Amino acid sequence: MKIVFVNRFYAPDHSATSQMLTDLAIALAAGGADVQVITSRLRYDDAAASLAPHEQIDGVEVHRVWTSRFGRGNLAGRALDYLSFYVAAGAKLFGLVRSGDVVVAKTDPPLVSVVAGWVARLRGARLVNWLQDLHPEVAANLGMAPARGPGGSLLRWLRDGSLRQAAANVVLGARMRERVTALGVDPRTIAVIPNWADGALLRPVERGANPLRAEWELGDKFVVGYSGNLGRVHEFRTILDAADSLRTQTDIVFLFIGDGAQKAPLATAAQQRGLSNILFKPYQPREALGQSLGVADVHLVTLRPELEGLVVPSKFYGVAAVGRPTIFIGDAEGEIGSVVRTAECGMSVQQGDGAELAAAITALRDDSALRERMGANARRVFEERYDRAIAVEEWRRLLREVAGATLQV
């Protein structure tokens, strides 16, 4: 009996979906499971990269199929990348799985669960959907025409069929569970397993002991961090307005680490406004993630309010792991906003209110005791709910229920 994961990215890629999948696959393989991954030969941030077609990584057998490689800069090219992955991954999956196997389909590319569901039904395998987001609803909310009208209705009908077929649907939070239940999916098949971070790898680091602060010439500045993907679901005008209003406070710097569709527009807008308090750094190696997250005194996490229940920003878990407060920009009653409030590990501000964000930043800068208390609360709630070991054990329990108690995981 095999567990076969399907996702467009896998190690050594460092995107969020890749890191979560890599963590889980390696942990299950270490428990004795036959774990295989069908993925692409690409890297999230480098369409020109070409990874090995087949290899073993930490006990996991990785099958990398050929796809087109237009990258994320062009929507038409991205659609062709998706289509080529559907075809190649579907063919590989059909040849790989057998009756009784478990197929776990993530959501990169969107709607890959439809292809995985067809193959699972034909081959007698059990389907588990691991929903990192809900498409085409995300695309429709972002104004993408193909996700609206009759085309969008057809895509939703196909996606909903794959959810109803599945033995289990894993969602990231309570709001997403509500969304999926509203689609007519049997609530008994829906399991909430949040994303996570590795608490052994990511730990609080004193700012004075962090070598990156000296390397990046940050000195004693108060660093407002944003780490990871800056995508279309993340609004940046609020941050830009706050940075503009704080431009005269030379001890405050905004540090963006990573990439994404919104990075270039943000950099252009910052240049147009003449802002010198915004600094950009590329993605850092995973082994240096603890230091790069720990550089900041406080982190920003953003999500457009209309996307609550469709997306959950996973960057929050790494921030909590290193014991830093979060300022969440979005719906204060949403998935992350609620955790920030109830755990008292940060603050929430409304999207579009740059003045409120600037006030939250200066409040945390000026009150080190508050900052330290929120940071300690962040690490506490992380250890209680969001450490990798907790999520892996939840996944083991779920897979045993799906495949039978005899499954070795």
pLDDT digits (tens, 9 = 90+) for 123-132: 999 999 999 9
Collapsing DSSP to helix, strand or coil, 196 comes out as coil
**Taking the CA of residue 182 as centre, how many other CA atoms within 13 Å lie in the half-sphere pointing to its CB?**
10
> Per the domain annotation, does 275 fall within a domain?
yes
**Same domain, yes or no: 68 and 141:** yes
Please state at what angle helix 174-181 crosses helix 335-342, rounded to 10 degrees: 150
**Domain, as residue range, for 166:** 2-196+388-403
The span from the CA of 196 to the CA of 29, in Å, is: 18
Report the domain count for the chain: 2
Looking at the structure, do residues 336 and 259 belong to the same domain, yes or no?
A: yes
**Based on the domain organization, do 42 and 131 belong to the same domain?**
yes
pLDDT of residue 368: 97
Q: At 351, which CATH number?
A: 3.40.50.2000
Integer distance in angstroms from the first to the last C-alpha of the chain? 11
8 A C-beta contact, residue 12 and residue 37: no
User: Are residues 155 and 283 located together in one domain of the fold?
Assistant: no
pLDDT at 47: 77
Which residue numbers in the chain have pLDDT < 70? 73, 405-407
C-alpha 40/C-alpha 15 separation (Å) is 13
| pLDDT for the residue 92 | 98
Same-domain pairing of 21 and 76: yes
Residue 409 lies in a domain: no
Q: Looking at the structure, tell me whether residues 177 and 113 fall in a common domain.
A: yes
User: Is this structure's pTM higher than 0.85?
Assistant: yes
Rounded Cα gap, residues 330 and 307, in angstroms: 10
Same domain flag for 158 and 215: no
Q: d(Cα 90, Cα 302) in Å, to the nearest integer?
A: 34
pLDDT at 405: 60
Residues 322 and 243 in one domain: yes
Integer Cα distance of 9 and 11 in angstroms: 7
